[in-house]
Amino acid sequence: MIITPSLILFFTTLMLGTTLSISSSSWFGAWIGLEMNLMSFIPLIALKNNQYTSEAALKYFLIQALGSTMIMFSASLILLNNSISIILILSLLLKLGAAPFHFWFPQVMEGLNWIQAIILMTIQKIAPMILISYLSFSPLSKYFILSAAMISAIVGAIGGINQTMLRKILAFSSINHMAWMLTAIIISEISWMSYFLFYSLISSSVALFFYSQQAFHYMHLINFMNSSFSSKLINSFSLLSLGGLPPFTGFMPKWFIMQEMITNQLFFPLFILLFSTLITLYYYLRISLSFFLLMTSKTKWNLKSNFSKKIPTFFIFFNLFGLFFPSFFFLF
């Protein structure tokens, strides 16, 4: 991706919109921040004038516009009836892409490149999730958030099983991780922030690896030829870390959330989250094993890369942190 002044401008306003939304003292200010964020991300999506980016930009705009309309409607009525906050939560779940309003998220991801996908999976989730945390004060609100979390866990796990497109796999993986983050919001903001930080770094490292290989399909990973055995091994560990397999780094935030859920006696939601995580590990293991079991000289093709062939050292160290320092777990 070529960095241009317009790209820097839109990314800056995107971050400013997120900051304004989470720091506003009124729902009107939060709505303005969300709209600024939306109108900054649309040009970032439509960098290339082709069918896929135009379709993704249009779908994203329509969904976010619907969510913004619901926010304005419910925020104007929240003073009359506190139960209207449920509509506000549903509108934020729509903007977030959490189940049962997840239908647009994999389709938009399919039309993005990997750098845009990283922004959609990480930065674009900050403002809606923090706004949801402001609404998790009543038992009814917590019930709706926890229900959305369990549905997101199931949808994210089952939806990615038969997928062969890597962006859709990461999209359903993101939906599954949103279940853990929504549950963490109910418990405490520190738990949510810790999980989100770990998730952002690990998912970014995986997406940067796919970007370095210009891989968009499952077969691209099977047949790429410009990596050593150690590189394949480290990238496989990164995928397993994203799935939360112990003792990799991705297991650490899940372990913290599990402890908090047991303390709060959320046993049934914990069972749903753990069961869905085991299902997501299936398609992570399928990708990882393909690096070593399906590599033949007859099926290789050369993939040109516009990025470094190696993942930055920081991401490699971060994903293997739990493996190299198992004693770190016992500090908590």
Per-residue pLDDT tens over the stretch 46-104: 877 667 788 889 999 999 999 998 888 887 776 666 666 788 889 999 999 998 898 99
Contact 287, 211 (CB under 8 A): no
Q: 228 vs 90, which has greater pLDDT?
A: 90
| CB neighbours of residue 297 within 10 Å | 6
Predicted TM-score (pTM) of this structure? 0.88
Contact 214, 195 (CB under 8 A): no
**Region 159-176 average pLDDT:** 90
Residue type, 198: F
pLDDT score for 218 = 76
pLDDT score for 127 = 93
Least confident residue range of 13-27, 154-168, 215-229: 215-229
**Region 230-249 average pLDDT:** 80
Q: Tell me whether residue 97 is exposed, middle or buried, using C-beta atoms within 10 angstroms of its C-beta: 0 to 12, 13 to 18, 19 or more.
A: buried
Contact 114, 213 (CB under 8 A): no
Token look-up 């050292």 returns 313
Give the confidence band of 315 by pLDDT, cuts at 50, 70, 90. Answer: low
Instruction: Tell whether the torsion through CA atoms of 57, 60, 61 and 62 is positive or negative.
Output: positive
pLDDT at 154 over 90: yes
Contact 146, 186 (CB under 8 A): yes
Q: 78 vs 268, which has greater pLDDT?
A: 268
What domain range includes position 95? 5-331
Task: Give how many domains the chain has, as a whole number.
Answer: 1
Residue type, 304: K
At 217, give phi and psi (nearest 5°): -125, 155
Specify the DSSP class assigned to residue 302. Answer: -
pLDDT score for 123 = 93
CA 253/CA 161 separation, integer angstroms? 23
Per the prediction, the chain carries an average pLDDT of: 82
pLDDT at 262 over 90: yes
